[in-house]
A and B are shown apart, each in its own frame.
Chain A
Amino acid sequence: MTSRLHAQDVTVGYGGAPVVHDLTVEIPDGQVTTIVGPNGCGKSTLLRTLARLLAPTSGRVVLDGTPITSLGTRDIATRLSLLPQSPVAPEGLLVRDLVGRGRHPHQRWFAQWSHQDEEVVEAALAMTDTTDLRDRPLDQLSGGQRQRAWIAMTLAQDTDLMLLDEPTTYLDLAHQVEVLELVCRLNRERSRTVAMVLHDLNLAARYSDLVVVMHEGRIVTQGTPADVFTAGLILDVFSLEAEILEDPRTGLPIVVPLSSSANPVAAVVSTSALAG
Chain B
Amino acid sequence: MTTLSAPLRVGPASWLVPLRAGLVTVASVVLLVFLAVLDLAFGDFEMPLGTVVQTLLGGGDPASAFIVHGLRLPQTTVALLTGAALGLAGALTQTFARNPLASPDILGVTDGAAVGAVSVIVLSGATGYGGGLVSGTLQSVGLPLAAFAGGLLTATALYILSWRRGIDGQRLVLVGIGIGAALMAMVSWLLVEARIQDAASAQVWLTGSLSARGWDHARPLLLALVLLVPLALLLVRHLNALQLGDDNARGLGTRLQTTQLLTLVAAVGLTSVAVSAVGPLEFVAFVVPQVALRLTGGSRPPLLASMTCGACLVVGADLLTRVVIPFAVPAGLVTAAVGAPYLIWLLLRSNRKVTA
A interface list, Cβ under 8 A from B: 14, 48, 51-53, 72-78, 81-84, 87-94, 97-98, 100-102, 104-105, 107, 109-115, 117-118, 135, 137, 157
Distance A111 CA – B7 CA, assembled complex (angstroms): 11
Which of A94, A100, A101, A110 is B3 in contact with, Cβ under 8 Å? Answer: A94
- 28 CB < 8 A contacts A-B: A14-B165, A48-B247, A77-B253, A82-B248, A82-B251, A84-B245, A84-B247, A84-B251, A88-B245, A89-B299, A91-B299, A92-B298, A94-B2, A101-B241, A101-B244, A104-B237, A104-B241, A105-B252, A105-B253, A107-B237, A109-B233, A111-B12, A113-B7, A113-B8, A113-B16, A117-B14, A118-B7, A157-B252
| Contact count band on B | 20 to 34
B156 at the A/B interface (Cβ < 8 Å)? no
Residues of B within 8 A of A92 (CB): 1, 297-299
Residues of A within 8 A of B9 (CB): 113-115
Complex contact A101–B252 (CB within 8 A): yes
Residues of B within 8 A of A117 (CB): 14
Complex contact B253–A104 (CB within 8 A): yes
B300 at the A/B interface (Cβ < 8 Å)? yes
B195 at the A/B interface (Cβ < 8 Å)? no
Residue-wise, chain B 1-42 has the 8 Å CB interface mask toward A (1 for contact) of: 111000111001111100000000000000000000000000
Residues of B within 8 A of A98 (CB): 244
Using known A-B contacts A100-B16, A107-B237, determine if residue A87 contacts B244 with beta carbons closer than 8 Å.
yes
Using known A-B contacts A90-B299, A92-B1, A114-B9, determine if residue A51 contacts B251 with beta carbons closer than 8 Å.
yes
Residues of A within 8 A of B135 (CB): none
Complex contact B298–A113 (CB within 8 A): no
Distance A256 CA – B252 CA, assembled complex (angstroms): 39
Distance A89 CA – B248 CA, assembled complex (angstroms): 10
Residues of A within 8 A of B237 (CB): 104, 107, 109, 112
Distance A137 CA – B297 CA, assembled complex (angstroms): 11
Which of A14, A84, A113 is B248 in contact with, Cβ under 8 Å? Answer: A84
Complex contact A97–B12 (CB within 8 A): no
Residue among B14, B98, B165, B255 with max Cβ neighbours from chain A (10 Å): B14
Complex contact B98–A73 (CB within 8 A): no
Residues of B within 8 A of A137 (CB): 1
Using known A-B contacts A112-B16, A113-B15, determine if residue A97 contacts B299 with beta carbons closer than 8 Å.
yes
Complex contact A90–B243 (CB within 8 A): yes
Residue of B nearest to A98 (CB): B244
B interface list, Cβ under 8 A from A: 1-3, 7-9, 12-16, 98, 165, 233-234, 237, 240-241, 243-245, 247-248, 250-255, 297-300
Residue of B nearest to A91 (CB): B299
Residues of A within 8 A of B250 (CB): 52-53, 73
Complex contact B240–A101 (CB within 8 A): yes
Residues of A within 8 A of B245 (CB): 84, 87-88
Residues of B within 8 A of A97 (CB): 3, 299
In the complex, how many angstroms separate the beta carbon of B289 from the nearest chain A beta carbon? 13
Complex contact B251–A111 (CB within 8 A): no
Distance A113 CA – B15 CA, assembled complex (angstroms): 5
Known: A72-B253, A111-B12, A112-B237. 10 other contacts (CB 8 A): A75-B253, A82-B247, A84-B245, A92-B1, A94-B3, A109-B234, A109-B237, A110-B13, A115-B9, A118-B7
Residues of B within 8 A of A94 (CB): 2-3, 299
Residues of A within 8 A of B299 (CB): 89-94, 97
In the complex, how many angstroms separate the beta carbon of B53 from the nearest chain A beta carbon? 37
Using known A-B contacts A87-B245, A90-B243, A90-B300, determine if residue A81 contacts B251 with beta carbons closer than 8 Å.
yes
Residue of B nearest to A86 (CB): B245
Distance A102 CA – B14 CA, assembled complex (angstroms): 16
Complex contact A76–B253 (CB within 8 A): yes
Residue of B nearest to A104 (CB): B252
In the complex, how many angstroms separate the beta carbon of A39 from the nearest chain B beta carbon? 19
Residues of A within 8 A of B234 (CB): 109
Residue of B nearest to A97 (CB): B299
Distance A41 CA – B44 CA, assembled complex (angstroms): 75
In the complex, how many angstroms separate the beta carbon of A131 from the nearest chain B beta carbon? 15
In the complex, how many angstroms separate the beta carbon of B91 from the nearest chain A beta carbon? 13
Residues of B within 8 A of A48 (CB): 247
Residue among B16, B233, B234 with max Cβ neighbours from chain A (10 Å): B16
Residues of B within 8 A of A91 (CB): 299
Residues of B within 8 A of A135 (CB): 2
In the complex, how many angstroms separate the beta carbon of A89 from the nearest chain B beta carbon? 6
In the complex, how many angstroms separate the beta carbon of A85 from the nearest chain B beta carbon? 8
Residue of A nearest to B13 (CB): A110
Complex contact A73–B14 (CB within 8 A): no
Distance A90 CA – B299 CA, assembled complex (angstroms): 6
Residues of A within 8 A of B2 (CB): 94, 135
Residue of A nearest to B298 (CB): A92
Residue of B nearest to A89 (CB): B244
Distance A74 CA – B259 CA, assembled complex (angstroms): 13
Residues of A within 8 A of B1 (CB): 92, 137
Residue of A nearest to B95 (CB): A90
Residues of A within 8 A of B14 (CB): 110-115, 117
Residue among B2, B255, B299 with max Cβ neighbours from chain A (10 Å): B299
Residue of B nearest to A80 (CB): B251
In the complex, how many angstroms separate the beta carbon of A13 from the nearest chain B beta carbon? 12
In the complex, how many angstroms separate the beta carbon of A132 from the nearest chain B beta carbon? 14
In the complex, how many angstroms separate the beta carbon of A162 from the nearest chain B beta carbon? 11
Residues of B within 8 A of A110 (CB): 12-14
5 tightest CB-CB pairs across the interface, nearest first?
A77-B253, A74-B253, A105-B253, A84-B247, A93-B299
